[in-house]
Amino acid sequence: MVKNSRRNFIKNLFFLSQSLLLPKTILSKHLGNKKLDIALQIYSFTPLLLQGKFNVLDFPKMVRETYNMNGAEHWSIAFMGKENDKKYLNELKSRSEENRIDNLIILVDNIDISTMKSGPSLASSLKTERGSAIDFHKRWVEVAKQIGCHSIRVNLRSSEQNNQKILENSSESLLELIEFSKRDKINIVVENHGGITGDADWMVNLMENINSKYLGTLPDFGSSNFCINKGDLDLEGITNSCETQYDKYDGVTKLMPYAKGVSAKSHAFNQDGEELSTDFSKMIEIISNSNYSGYITVEYEGAIMSMYRGGENYLNSNDGVIATKKLLEKYI
């Protein structure tokens, strides 16, 4: 029973990862004359979080001493309910400052961690649900302010079939959320996270429709992140075939003018250290040719893939983070 529950939790977390404003450049005090720097997303350590072997308060020290990076991104699920503990949040900020770490973005997923069921969406067709989603995200704006992040990432999940209607519903919610977040100069960023947000043209329309310096994108390298329509579940029950796939390189190119962060998602590597599903040299060229200055964040997803699938292609969290960082350093 415990094994099945854990298996379902892992599967749900994977689905979560796939489905789910300052000026246009986010400058770090660590950048100096450099245009780009490297940060680490705590989601890379999901297996350890699931096993209760990861202390979020130790993350800033890990980012600095183990990986020699300057920036950290957080994930709402990793807080495990402690987002309401001001003492805990103050300690996280204090440890970040002690280790000279820039806290950047909180990836916010409206999920009940006890049941792994999704809560109301900002893009819902129902106004009451959108209102509940706005209230939920306001709390994370406050958390972002308390730990020193510049942005929170939101999802725009919707069962609505009319893309224009999704745009209207999403715009209404985001405008209200921005009115709240801009008081504390916290940005709202939308990631290409599959579904409608996997369509970079729709995302550009959203950015232009709202036209706020407090709204931006979070381009993600993942192929599934650019999957607009998923097919049936495969036999393993964790990944979907993609019926409508947006070209990831074209997608990142279109999202970069609005970017307030970049997620360098990785899964597996060949013997030369190159990522098997993404041409990192091409992605870094796209980013370098844009006006973006700031962090590219390591988001290694291979470890959680390994937990479910097994196989020799996936590294553990530590080795996967190191491999991704080396690849970024090779091309930046």
Q: Which strand (E) or helix (H) includes residue 320?
A: helix 317-331
CA distances from 330 to 183, 193, 194, 323 (A): 39, 26, 28, 11
Task: Locate 216 and state its tokens.
Answer: 């931006």
Q: What pLDDT, on the 0 to 100 scale, is given for residue 320?
A: 97
Q: What pLDDT, on the 0 to 100 scale, is given for residue 312?
A: 66
For 298, phi then psi, to 5°, come to -70, 120
Beta-strand pair 102-107/151-154: parallel
Q: What pLDDT, on the 0 to 100 scale, is given for residue 25?
A: 43
Give the C-alpha separation, 50 to 304, whole Å. 10
> Would you say 163 and 203 are in contact if contact means Cβ atoms under 8 Å apart?
no
Residues of the chain predicted below pLDDT 50: 1-7, 9-11, 14-28, 33, 233-238
Q: What pLDDT, on the 0 to 100 scale, is given for residue 221?
A: 97
* DSSP letters spanning 184-237: GT-EEEEE--SGGGG-HHHHHHHHHHH--TTEEEE-B--TGGGEEEEEEE-TTS
Q: What pLDDT, on the 0 to 100 scale, is given for residue 14?
A: 47
**Which residue type is seen at 81?**
G
DSSP state of 111: E
CATH class of the structural domain 2-331: alpha beta
Q: List the domain boundaries for the chain.
A: 2-331
What pairs with residue 215 in β-bridges? 188
Q: What angle do CA 71, 155, 268 make, to 5 degrees?
A: 55
Whole-structure pTM value:
0.89
Give the C-alpha separation, 146 to 219, whole Å. 25
Q: What pLDDT, on the 0 to 100 scale, is given for residue 150?
A: 98
CA distances from 260 to 133, 162, 257 (A): 22, 28, 9
